[in-house]
Amino acid sequence: MLKYLKKYWFFCLLAPLFMVGEVSMDLIQPDMMADIVDNGVLKSDIALIVTVGIRMILTVIVGGLCGVLCGVFANLAAQSFGNDLRKDLFAKIMHLSFQQTDKISTGSLVTRLTNDVTQVQNVVMMAVRGFVRNTVMFVGGVFMLYRQSPKFALVAACGLPFVVVIVTFFLKKTAPLFAVVQKKLDGINHIMQETVAGARVVKAYVKEEYELGRFDEANDVLCEENLRVQSLLAFMSPCMNIVLNLCVVAVIMVGGHTVKAGGTITPGNTMAAITYLAQILHGISFMANIFQTFSRAKASADRINEVLHSPDIITDGAFARETEIRGAVEFKNVSFAYPGSDDHHVLENISFQVQPGETFAIIGATGSGKSSLVHLIPRFYDVTEGEVLVDGINVKDYELTALRDKIAIVLQKAELYSRSIGENIRWSRKDAGPWKIKNAAQIAHADEFICGKSYGYHTPVTEGGHSLSGGQKQRISIARAILKKHEILILDDSTSALDLKTEASLYRALQKECPDVTKIMIAQRISSIQGADRILVLDNGGVSAIGTHAELMERSEIYRDIYNSQMKEGGEAR
């Protein structure tokens, strides 16, 4: 991740330099205080006290100014680093395949994008501020302590090994627990995301208490893990303080004995030595906290790198040119199994062709593989065996952008965003003007209900589209797909919430307004697809039959069974 700091090397250089200035001012002050005590107070020299006191005030001002500038540059480096890292991580998440996002939960991705990046960002701040400060304070403090008396430096040297042992012990114990804490936080975010997104279902089934119980359980587990870490770290500070206080006592005893014996150590030297010793040992203590933060950030960095360095499973091909054929789709001996499903094929040896401009329908029982089949066309997943061709080119040979630009797809679940209705439709084509948006909505039979709202196309949509009915959301999603420049339109059971009259009108409008667009429709109702040029019947992941409605009624028992189960006498839908 150091590459993200290279752009801000100037800030990373200035912040430590100003920190050195601040620490230098801190290190000078105890020596000045010793001068005041030995040569001012003990010798009743008021002029010296005033002179040295003014110098101390000036050093405090200079040190404070250096500290402020260090903070400014450290923040510029850390915030800019976090900004770039978060953008790259989000971009990587957007390019992950469905296989990868299925493996890493949404809650975990949210945690990595927010909490984990913040942890790493904090380390950058500490590295250019805290780490530099405490390192300089330790080295400078030892030097200044030695200047007061080598005996004092010896006392510090005796206490240092104990401090190192204490810090090493506790960090070794806590480091593995930080990764566990982050995973538990993933669990909380996952539950929260699921529950908030499905709030209406939770309320409908009166499952608030159940979901509260799930959240409480996950939160208790996180709390327990945090307590384990904090309990271990809570012992570290008192142990450090014991060593510090013993060293202070030793300095006082050495200083007092030497002063009493008439040696070279003065009361001012002893006072300064106590201050320097406190600075040294407190610096080590803070360094321990920094190492603790490093350990926590290391766990977060590993989780971020897991996403950033994830190999691209759905990779770009080299083909991005226009083709002679436009809107043709062909499956050649295609078999497909979801990753991690132990090679259990959802689709088995599928072969068929869809001609440009054709309306091609797919029907079959629930779980027969209808959605899985159409998801292979825009490469949401890659086939396990065989080939999928678009305009005569294997989809794996296309650049992903070039392939998906050819296709507009409306999925089973209508996904809308927290913006106006018009912006939701225009989302697929940013250069579309109001009249094109309105025309797409008219084709999708959405214009009438949109214009009936108080703000028309400017009506805001609540999160997840909960302010709209299921049929309204589907029609807005279809309008968005129509607005996109495309050769192939895939409707994955995307009219299931519409009444038969509206659905029939919509399909007639599609045929009239988009005659050259290849339309692939998945439906559960035969009444939705009777007018299709051809219909494919899927059964247990295989092709059972292909033909027109009339042909299938004659020679497909499965199709007839579906028809008879759905239609009453007279042909009305149940």
Q: Is the pTM of this model over 0.75?
A: no
Distance set, CA 341 to CA 102, 338, 349, 414, 490 (Å) = 12, 6, 18, 27, 26
Right CATH number for 3-308 from 3.30.420.10, 3.40.50.1820, 3.40.30.10, 1.20.1560.10? 1.20.1560.10
H/E segment holding residue 354: strand 345-354
Strand arrangement of the beta sheet that strand 542-547 belongs to: 407-410, 488-492, 518-522, 359-364, 534-539, 542-547
Q: Which residue has the higher pLDDT, 534 or 109?
A: 534
The whole-chain average pLDDT of the chain stands at 85
- Window from 59-68, 112-121, 171-180, 397-406 with minimum mean pLDDT: 171-180
Higher per-residue pLDDT: 149 or 342: 149
pLDDT in tens, 9-55: 898 889 989 988 988 888 888 888 877 887 777 777 788 888 888 98
Distance, C-alpha 172 to centroid of its chain:
29
Largest distance between two CA atoms of the chain: 120
Is the pLDDT at 342 greater than 80, yes or no?
no
Sorted by sequence, the CB contacts under 8 Å of residue 549 that are 6+ apart come out as: 526, 529, 530, 531, 532, 535
Residue 244 and residue 282 in contact, taking contact as beta carbons nearer than 8 Å = yes
CB atoms within 10 A of CB 74: 25
CB 34 within 8 A of CB 148: yes
Q: In terms of Cα–Cα distance, which of 171, 167, 141, 170 is closest to 153?
A: 141
Q: Per residue in 209-224, is it b (16+ CB within 10 Å) or e — as a string? A: eebeebeeebbeebee
Q: Is the pLDDT of residue 495 over 50?
A: yes
- Residue identified by tokens 């080299």 is 318
Quote the pLDDT of residue 572: 44
Residue 570 has pLDDT above 70, yes or no: no
Does the CA dihedral 60-61-62-66 come out positive or negative? positive
Query: Is 159 or 93 the better-scoring residue by pLDDT?
Result: 93
